[in-house]
């Protein structure tokens, strides 16, 4: 996907045109931007979607927040991450993008209110805020051995129109996760300034090391009742590797009065759209359970590719693979001998490799490259080898 950050508001730029030319010409490409596990050779059980054929789905029983059994299944599964939530605090949506739209409608008045968004980050948020008439105010993640929130800049740019702060943990593409201290600092600010905290945790299952997956500080932080109105987002797209199934969710947390009031208003919004299909709700308990097998396959793939990448890059001292705690991407910092766009186009046209430049994600300066960890190993290793050879020159 190439967003307005690549294409520009007035039309496609050089990189987008080069990609279109290569695809129109039928050029064989090693795609290091792939983010679709169903197109990445990940093994899926043949029966994984059988539960969608449940005859009970023939009966339509609309429920604004979703069917009770599906909400209970999400609540049970959330305990894997140390999150204890009552099914009554679970709101089902058709996707995480749908969840954002619901929350922007809940929290913000159009053409005035604002949401603070992290950068670097995936450019989807630009489109989502614009489509709901919400202003976005960026706050910077700074890299100093690890990616961390620049709270001084966040405080400087916070205005009285801010209704929510969005945090992505793990972040896409940096792979950084909120520390317990960062979560506490965001919560304190939102509580004091009457704003909500939205935490996107769709990649939470994909820690790139066993130590990170069991980090006690983060587990303890997630188990605490937040002091501000808080919404945690997840979905089957990542947790079960099923983007085609279209089921996401919002976990509502915070002080009882605020949470109860938010749920009342959310009920009206969700009842207006009723966007989640009955078959996927009926199948949700089975899909969530089956997702464990797919998740294990994805986790094995990304950990293996991350290891291959760092092993190969060790032979190129001028190229740094930045630390990554979790997620499906890795970030390379390369010599700034040419513009990122020039380098990526050269890799596309001369080496047959497609990858993302850092400016796609609003990295603060040149030169960063972002590669997906999802491709099958032979293609990934060959693609990375070509990238390293070209980038170090």
Nearest CA-CA partner of 324 in 215, 174, 213: 174
pLDDT in tens, the chain (393 residues): 444 344 344 345 888 898 899 888 888 899 999 999 999 999 999 999 999 999 999 999 999 999 999 999 999 999 999 999 999 999 999 999 999 999 999 999 998 999 999 999 999 999 999 999 999 999 999 999 999 999 999 999 999 999 999 999 999 999 999 999 999 999 999 999 999 999 999 999 999 987 655 555 555 555 566 899 999 999 999 999 999 999 999 999 999 999 999 999 999 999 999 999 999 999 999 999 999 999 999 999 999 999 999 999 999 999 999 999 999 999 999 999 999 999 999 999 999 999 999 999 999 888 999 999 999 999 999 999 999 999 997
Q: What is the reported pTM? A: 0.93
- What angle separates helix 278-313 from helix 68-78, to the nearest 10 degrees? 20
* CATH annotation of 50-291: 3.40.640.10
3-state class (DSSP) for residue 39: helix
- Specify the pLDDT at position 59: 96
How many CB atoms are located within 10 Å of the residue 24 CB? 8
Q: What is the DSSP string of 133-164?
A: T-EEEEEEEEESSSEEE-HHHHHHH--TTEEE
3-state class (DSSP) for residue 30: strand
Separation of alpha carbons 152 and 52, rounded Å: 49
DSSP-derived pairing of the beta strands 162-168 and 114-119: parallel
Nearest CA-CA partner of 330 in 184, 190, 174: 174
The per-residue pLDDT for range 195-250, each reduced to its tens digit, is: 999 999 999 999 998 765 555 555 555 556 689 999 999 999 999 999 999 999 99
- Specify the pLDDT at position 211: 64
Rg value, the chain, Cα: 21
CATH 3.40.640.10 domain residues, the chain: 50-291
The per-residue pLDDT for range 325-373, each reduced to its tens digit, is: 999 999 999 999 999 999 999 999 999 999 999 999 999 888 999 999 9
CATH 3.90.1150.10 domain residues, the chain: 4-43+293-392
Under CATH, to which class is 4-43+293-392 assigned? alpha beta
3-state class (DSSP) for residue 342: helix
- Specify the pLDDT at position 11: 45
CA–CA distances in Å: residue 286 to residues 55, 296, 357: 14, 16, 39
What are the backbone dihedrals phi and psi of residue 86, each rounded to the nearest 5 degrees, phi first?
A: -75, 145
- Specify the pLDDT at position 349: 94
Work out the end-to-end distance of the chain between its first and last CA atoms, rounded to an integer number of angstroms: 28
> Using an 8 Å Cβ cutoff, are 241 and 298 in contact?
yes
């Amino acid at each position: 996907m190439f967003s307005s950050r690549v294409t520009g508001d007035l039309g496609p730029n050089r990189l987008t045109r080069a990609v279109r030319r290569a695809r129109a010409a039928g050029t064989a490409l090693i795609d290091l931007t792939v983010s679709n596990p169903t197109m990445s050779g990940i093994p899926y059980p043949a029966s994984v979607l059988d539960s969608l054929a449940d005859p009970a789905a023939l009966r339509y029983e609309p429920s604004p927040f979703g069917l009770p059994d599906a909400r209970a299944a999400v609540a049970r599964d959330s305990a894997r991450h140390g999150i204890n939530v009552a099914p009554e605090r679970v709101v089902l949506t058709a996707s995480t993008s749908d969840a954002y739209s619901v929350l922007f409608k809940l929290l913000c008045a159009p053409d005035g209110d604002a949401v603070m968004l992290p950068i670097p980050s995936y450019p989807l948020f630009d489109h989502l805020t614009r489509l709901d008439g919400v202003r976005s105010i960026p706050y910077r993640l700074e890299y100093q051995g690890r990616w961390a929130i620049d709270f001084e800049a966040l405080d400087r740019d916070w205005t009285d129109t801010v209704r929510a702060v969005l945090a992505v943990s793990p972040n896409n593409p940096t792979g950084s996760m909120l520390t317990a201290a960062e979560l506490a600092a965001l919560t304190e600010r939102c509580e004091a300034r009457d704003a909500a905290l939205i935490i996107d945790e769709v990649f939470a299952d994909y820690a790139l090391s066993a130590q990170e997956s069991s980090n006690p500080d983060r587990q303890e932080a997630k188990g605490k009742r937040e002091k501000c109105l808080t919404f945690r987002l997840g979905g089957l797209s990542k947790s079960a590797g099923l983007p085609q199934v279209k089921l996401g969710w919002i976990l509502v947390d915070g002080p009882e009065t605020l949470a109860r009031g938010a749920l009342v208003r959310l009920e009206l919004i969700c009842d207006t759209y009723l966007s989640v299909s009955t078959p996927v709700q009926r199948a949700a308990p089975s899909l969530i359970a089956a997702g464990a097998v797919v998740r294990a396959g994805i986790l094995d793939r990304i950990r293996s590719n991350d290891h291959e990448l760092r092993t190969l890059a060790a032979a190129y001292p001028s190229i740094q693979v930045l630390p990554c705690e979790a997620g499906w991407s890795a970030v390379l910092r390369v010599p700034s001998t040419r513009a990122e766009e020039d380098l990526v186009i050269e890799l596309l046209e001369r080496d047959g490799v497609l990858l993302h430049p850092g400016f796609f994600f609003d990295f603060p300066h040149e030169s960063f490259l972002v590669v997906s960890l999802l491709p099958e190993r032979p293609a990934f290793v060959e693609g990375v080898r070509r990238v390293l050879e070209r980038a170090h020159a």
